[in-house]
């Protein structure tokens, strides 16, 4: 009799435990179902958030100016000047991104330990890919055409070239000396931009001190090919030009952009001209990027990115945060660039938000 009661009691407990386990399993399944439902409901929102994610401006931390924005091997790259005192400008960093929003830093892709003749003021990098190599053009040493305080300036400097097998380097000095080391047409050899024309000819467009030159690069980028009259460069200076040229082609027209005003203050801005020829003339059309006291001042020295096979354009530039008491406090930003139906460029609106993920 006791055995029967004991068995019945044990059976009841087993049934209870089984029911408890079933309840737990059911609860776990319900939790799993709710989690899956939440995931399914959230995925479109996550996708939408990803699609609307923006870079923010500035796009990277730190003081950087004169940014060269370019697409290399399907990836976005920005090569800027390190914005600091001239004596501290002895290296250049680079930044890469797959989506124009999240940027990876590549520190010191080039520095004065690589370029032995450069000692300071490494400025305005410009990079171009030719065949399977990457050529990085830069200026160094801030050479002067006249004596300062009665002392003749005989410093070796000007525009140099480095070469590497990858955009991030390691680079080596391509020439062991400057490519352009003197003033032609009174243009200081700085702020170079390298451009490939429709006929595949490579040009270098450069110049400070209110003068802009263009020259033909030879096949291996070791020198300039003279024009028929024997000149190494041509003067293409537009009205209002100060420095920082960049060029691109859209709908068969050549667009030249440049900076005006003073780079150390809020008067700095970007203007442009249009021509049917790479040699101009480039008649000034308008200023398209200027100070906005609600956002930043000193906006200038830009480059342009065009998404391949589209009419989608971006302006990469530097600006000065507000307030700003230091002349070297400049940051690198990206905003959209739009055109009117007649090909003229609309004023670029500076933003804190930056651009959407690509």
Would you please indicate which residues are annotated as catalytic (active-site) residues? 66, 243
Contact (CB, 8 A) for 240 and 271: yes
Q: Report the b/e string of 26-41 with b at 16+ CB within 10 A.
A: eeeeeeeeeeeeeeee
Q: Is 103 exposed, middle or buried (0-12, 13-18, 19+ CB in 10 A)?
A: buried
d(CA 218, CA 225): 5
Looking up tokens 């931009």 gives 193
d(CA 329, CA 71): 26
d(CA 263, CA 188): 15
What strands, in cross-sheet order, belong to the sheet with 104-111? 64-72, 75-82, 91-97, 104-111
253 forms bridges with which residues in the sheet? Answer: 250
Nearest CA among 262, 268, 260, 355 for reference residue 312:
355
């Amino acid at each position: 009799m006791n055995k029967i009661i004991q068995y019945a009691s044990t059976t009841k407990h087993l049934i209870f435990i089984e029911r408890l386990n079933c309840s737990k399993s059911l609860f776990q399944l319900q939790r799993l179902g709710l989690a899956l439902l939440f995931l399914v409901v959230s995925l479109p929102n996550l996708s939408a958030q990803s699609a609307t994610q923006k870079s923010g401006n500035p796009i990277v931390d730190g003081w950087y100016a004169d940014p060269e924005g370019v697409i290399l091997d399907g990836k976005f790259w920005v090569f800027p000047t390190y914005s600091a005192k001239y004596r501290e400008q002895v290296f250049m960093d680079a930044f890469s991104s797959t989506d124009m929003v999240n940027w990876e830093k590549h520190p010191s892709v080039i520095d004065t330990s690589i370029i032995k003749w450069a000692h300071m003021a490494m400025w305005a990098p410009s990079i171009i890919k030719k065949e399977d190599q990457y050529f990085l053009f830069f200026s160094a040493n801030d050479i002067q055409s006249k004596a300062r305080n009665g002392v003749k300036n005989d410093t070796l400097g000007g525009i140099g070239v480095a070469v590497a097998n990858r955009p991030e380097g390691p680079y080596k000095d391509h020439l062991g000396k400057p490519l352009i080391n003197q003033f032609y047409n009174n243009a200081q050899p700085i702020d170079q931009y390298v451009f490939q024309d429709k006929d595949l000819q490579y040009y270098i467009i450069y110049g400070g001190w209110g003068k802009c030159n263009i020259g033909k690069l030879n096949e291996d980028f070791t020198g300039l090919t003279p024009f028929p009259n024997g000149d190494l460069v041509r003067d293409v200076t537009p009205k209002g030009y100060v420095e920082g040229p960049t060029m691109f082609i859209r709908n068969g027209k050549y667009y030249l952009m440049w900076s005006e005003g003073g780079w150390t203050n809020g008067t700095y801005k970007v203007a442009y001209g249009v021509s049917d020829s790479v040699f101009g003339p480039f008649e000034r059309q308008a200023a398209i990027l200027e100070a906005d006291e609600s956002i930043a001042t000193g906006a200038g020295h830009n480059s342009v990115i065009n998404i391949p096979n589209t009419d989608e354009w971006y302006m990469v530039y530097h600006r000065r945060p507000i307030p700003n008491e230091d002349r070297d406090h400049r940051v690198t930003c990206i905003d959209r660039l739009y055109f009117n139906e007649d090909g003229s460029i609309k004023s670029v609106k500076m933003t804190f938000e930056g651009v959407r993920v690509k």
